[in-house]
Structure 1
Amino acid sequence: MTKHGKRHIWNIHPSAGAKSAVAYTFASLFSKGLAFVTVPIFTRIMSTSEMGTVNLYNSWQAILTVIATLSLTYGGYMVALKEYEHERDRYESSVLTLTTFSSLVFFAVYSVAPDFWSRILGLDKSLILLMLVGFLLLPATEFWLARQRYEYKYKAATLVTIGSAILASALSVLAVLYMRESGRTAEGRLFANYAVLYVVALVLWIYIMVRGRKFIVMRYWKFSLALSVPLIANQFATQILNNSGRVMIGWFVDNSAVGIYGTLSSVSTVSAIVWSAINSSFIPFLYRNIDDSEGKKRVRSLSSFLLLSYAAMCVLITFLAPEVVKIIATDEYMAAIYIMPPISAAIFQNAISNMYSNVLLYHKKSSYIMIASICGAVLNIVLNAILIPLFGYQAAAYSMLIAFVFLSYVQMRISRKLHFTITKTRETVYDDKIIIAIQWLMIVLSAIAIPLYRFTVARYVAAFVLMVASLFFYMRIRKSI
């Protein structure tokens, strides 16, 4: 419903949504997949310690971006695009001004004690400055891409995403090759990669500001902050769940262990690239179908189908992990291959959490997302603090799995109860029983992969059976949908 009480009529042809979903999925897979494809080059040129520095940088950037940008680039932005349908240009430039101010405050805080922050983060000052520039510029790219996706305008966004990914990857490889004798390949790789992304972001920053020409509009700021402030804690907690393992491995072990853990976990997180694209395209579909019974039926069918397909992908990657690691890394990484099943299973739990947090965000109940995420993050930190010193860096994978299972159940329960209360019905958005069944089937199958890593033939047979079963269920579910 709009603020005038009239239901908005969407006149976008269904094929436009389908084309947009395919284009964005392909662009996301290509750009992030390209970064994954270059891993074999980096693991053979860079030491595990240098790889650890890169992983540590990326982890801290993911965690701190949430605070530095006030979480304005996350889910609340999509809600605002619907709320301010005829004022999007002005809204966009205004919130970009807000993220600019917040990033400058972040820079000022760092400037007071740069040595202190360098010790805490375990990073060189030059890398922290690189990160701070990103806090200033990268929100422009996020805002622009989110709006393009929401409006089903995919051609320019696809071109920008793929083009910048190719150039950034190429320059990163060249920088590492050029600086391999200097012992600073981590810095060279990071500066080369982000230089490309920052140039694109700067152009988009200027474009958004010139197009909107509104910089401080308090009603836009109040609306956005009302949604984003609770999400700061939520997204910060989410990033803690995703990245605290690497950070705490750096504290309790060393950067070399961070490099091994981070590189192998990147194999499992390939599937997260797919899910990110799927979820981004699923959100508009959910929001347009959640208000009526027939729409909810479509949502239940599609959500179960997406999760089952994604579960099959995660399990398949887990079964084929030894072959993937042999391709992307050297022998020193193979000893840690057993962390991949729990990491893959944890990533799938995050997909379930995303499904239910989408519903909470639609009802503007982001504070509940925050509470659940904080509880999960605290659990993860506590488990890491206990288990890593006792069992080594591999324990971080199991800590993450336990925390994400806990989070998925909390999100599910809260979302269900609030939806019933708000809609005054007992009609669920998703088929919870099917989702729980998929959840535990995925965990069990991932665990089965662990003993099979020593038996190649048996593992190949199991992977083949999984592929056939997935295809069978895909056809059945597709037909029912």
Structure 2
Amino acid sequence: MKAKKFTEAGLLYFIATLFNKGIGFVTVPIFSRILSTSDYGTITTFNSWVSMASVVMSLALYMSIRASFIDFSEKERPKFLSVVITFTCMIFVISMIIGALAIIMIPNNVNIALVFLCLVQSFGLALVNDYSYYLMMRYEYKARTALMVLPGLISVIISIIVILFVIDDHLYLGRIVPTTIVHAIVAVIVLIAVFSKAKPQLNFKYLKYGLIISLPLVLHSIALQILSQSDRVMITSLRNAAETGIYSLVYNLGMISTVITSSLDGIWIPWFTEKLKNRKIKEINTLVMDYVHLMTYAMVGLILVSVEVLKIFADHRYWVGVNIIPPIVLANYIIFMYTLYVNIEHFHKKTPYITVNTLIAAAINLGLNFIFIPKYGYVAAAYTTLVAYIIAFILHARYAKKIEPELYPLKMFISPLLQILVFTGIYYATLDLWIIRWGILVLYLVAILFKERFRIGILIPRIADKCSFFRKN
């Protein structure tokens, strides 16, 4: 790709990532005010089921689509994609039949409509994921960006209109039904786009190739979904949907940190891969400290301002959730930490160990949830999730250090973690004293600027040079 095209693609992907990760938070002020806590909880529980079902529906075959661009010719790739899409359609049909049979055999308190809406939306997400990887590998970045952004944006707009002006009861359906319909329409568009280039087919050579690559990653994907989504499902089943609504909204606030780390992953991973390939261990360890410090500053700042952000963005019914903000933010920080070690495992193709470690953490999370959620509700879910991610970090770091003992010395996390723990204590001590808390934040920012003054002094002239270059050109 030409430099200009590469820059444009990178910018679009960055915006799309921010949009996809951030839309849940950006829409919080809207949906938290037009929905009850129970409706909001039902929606987030439904979305959790959709996320887990889409993993099973897709069987992680999108990973094989990426590999097919290495092993197959340009003529074969559309045929391989057709096989993947055809097989996903078959799984969807089988899932609908199994769902119908299961509903006949289980009690009547199950919402039949939600079951089928979940399956349809999961199918749409699976097709979007498959086709998105295909477009990515073909450098069709404009079409891929549209596929990443438009379904979410359109469904949000329609949902708001439906909730405000169309329905008066069961408001959660005003969010779920439009989203499912939009994904169903997008699924049809994907089917037309794929099958217009290669007819529906089941080539067992292609299917075997795809499943060999993808199946080992299915359990890992499911375990990740359990780690990130099971708490909402279990709060709803073991307590009530209202608590799920409070927990989910506060969790979305903590996801601001995930938006930052996910966006930077697109820059970090290619750089890390190239440097590790060339055995530039010292260079990696030097830069990772800056990476860790940047995320630490972001987490501390988020903790200190989160009470007021929550009160601005959410209705007063959700304010009771302020007590679980620090463990949720810390959990997202731990995710960032262990992902650094997971990247080492990916580099050395140790995916079975990634799956095993993630499954152990997910199983511990489920066990702790069953023990503590019935008694302590959504507060317990915040801390059990944090414990599970800490265990995941220990397991991944332990194995990665066996592969690359010189990479990422564990002591580099001691000071950042102590910073976050200290400011967590300050958070609880000044929970109702916002002036003191914000004053501490200002002093913290001044200290950061003083500490990083030399780096900032180098960066500002570079930015000015770039700006003058673009003005001239």
Q: Shorter-chain TM-score category? A: 0.7 to 0.9
Equivalent position to 2:144, from 121, 143, 157: 157
Q: Is the alpha carbon distance of 1:446 and 1:297 closer, same or farther for their aligned partners in structure 2, counting shifts above 3 Å?
A: same
Q: Is the 8 A contact 1:137 1:205 kept in 2?
A: no
Equivalent position to 2:19, from 1, 22, 30: 30
- Normalised to the residue count of structure 2, the TM-score between the two structures is 0.86
1:94 aligns with 2:83: yes
Query: Which residue matches 1:404?
Result: 389
Q: Is the alpha carbon distance of 1:44 and 1:215 closer, same or farther for their aligned partners in structure 2, counting shifts above 3 Å?
A: same
1:341 CA drift (Å)? 0.9
Amino acid at match of 1:248: M
1:440 CA drift (Å)? 5.1
1:53 aligns with 2:42: yes
Q: CA RMSD in A?
A: 3.0
1:26 CA drift (Å)? 1.4
Partner of 1:269, secondary structure, is helix
In 2: Cα distance, 1:101 partner to 1:473 partner:
58
In 2: Cα distance, 1:472 partner to 1:139 partner:
48
Query: Which residue matches 1:387?
Result: 372
Structure possessing the higher radius of gyration over alpha carbons? 2
Say which is worse superposed, 106-115 or 15-24, in terms of deviation. 15-24
Equivalent position to 2:430, from 452, 455, 459: 452
1:255 aligns with 2:255: no
Query: Which residue matches 1:40?
Result: 29
In 2: Cα distance, 1:351 partner to 1:340 partner:
17
Q: Is the 8 A contact 1:341 1:446 kept in 2?
A: yes
Q: Is the 8 A contact 2:54 2:125 kept in 1?
A: no
Partner of 1:320, secondary structure, is helix
Identity percentage over the alignment? 27
1:199 aligns with 2:188: no
Q: Is the alpha carbon distance of 1:216 and 1:314 closer, same or farther for their aligned partners in structure 2, counting shifts above 3 Å?
A: farther
In 2: Cα distance, 1:447 partner to 1:225 partner:
48
Say which is worse superposed, 102-111 or 219-228, in terms of deviation. 219-228
1:373-410 superposed Cα distances (whole Å, 9 cap, x missing partner): 11101111111122222323211101101110110121
Q: Is the 8 A contact 1:45 1:180 kept in 2?
A: no
Q: Is the 8 A contact 2:120 2:180 kept in 1?
A: no
In 2: Cα distance, 1:238 partner to 1:333 partner:
27
Query: Which residue matches 1:4?
Result: none
1:175 aligns with 2:162: yes
Q: Is the alpha carbon distance of 1:386 and 1:155 closer, same or farther for their aligned partners in structure 2, counting shifts above 3 Å?
A: same
Query: Which residue matches 1:104?
Result: 93
1:49 CA drift (Å)? 0.8
Partner of 1:24, secondary structure, is helix
Q: Is the 8 A contact 2:13 2:145 kept in 1?
A: yes
1:172-192 superposed Cα distances (whole Å, 9 cap, x missing partner): 1001112452x1210121111
In 2: Cα distance, 1:157 partner to 1:328 partner:
30
Query: Which residue matches 1:5?
Result: none
Amino acid at match of 1:165: G
Q: Is the 8 A contact 1:234 1:369 kept in 2?
A: yes
Q: Is the alpha carbon distance of 1:470 and 1:168 closer, same or farther for their aligned partners in structure 2, counting shifts above 3 Å?
A: farther
Partner of 1:293, secondary structure, is coil
Amino acid at match of 1:233: L
Q: Is the 8 A contact 2:243 2:377 kept in 1?
A: no
Q: Is the 8 A contact 2:331 2:386 kept in 1?
A: yes
Q: Is the 8 A contact 1:164 1:200 kept in 2?
A: yes
1:66-105 equivalence runs, <5 A: 66-73=55-62, 78-84=66-72, 86=74, 87-105=76-94
Query: Which residue matches 1:416?
Result: 401
Query: Which residue matches 1:136?
Result: 123
Partner of 1:113, secondary structure, is helix
In 2: Cα distance, 1:117 partner to 1:447 partner:
48
Equivalent position to 1:113, from 96, 102, 108: 102
Q: Is the 8 A contact 1:248 1:384 kept in 2?
A: yes
- Normalised to the residue count of structure 1, the TM-score between the two structures is 0.84
Q: Is the 8 A contact 2:45 2:232 kept in 1?
A: yes
1:145 aligns with 2:129: no
Q: Is the alpha carbon distance of 1:78 and 1:401 closer, same or farther for their aligned partners in structure 2, counting shifts above 3 Å?
A: farther
Equivalent position to 1:221, from 207, 224, 228: 207
In 2: Cα distance, 1:198 partner to 1:475 partner:
52
Equivalent position to 1:319, from 304, 309, 313: 304
Equivalent position to 2:251, from 265, 269, 278: 265
Q: Is the 8 A contact 1:24 1:149 kept in 2?
A: no
1:210-359 equivalence runs, <5 A: 210-213=196-199, 215-294=201-280, 299-359=284-344
In 2: Cα distance, 1:458 partner to 1:318 partner:
14
Q: Is the 8 A contact 1:227 1:364 kept in 2?
A: no
Query: Which residue matches 2:356?
Result: 371
1:140-166 superposed Cα distances (whole Å, 9 cap, x missing partner): 321233344455543333334333333
1:95 CA drift (Å)? 2.3
Give the unaligned 5+ runs of structure 1: 1-11, 421-425
1:45 CA drift (Å)? 1.9
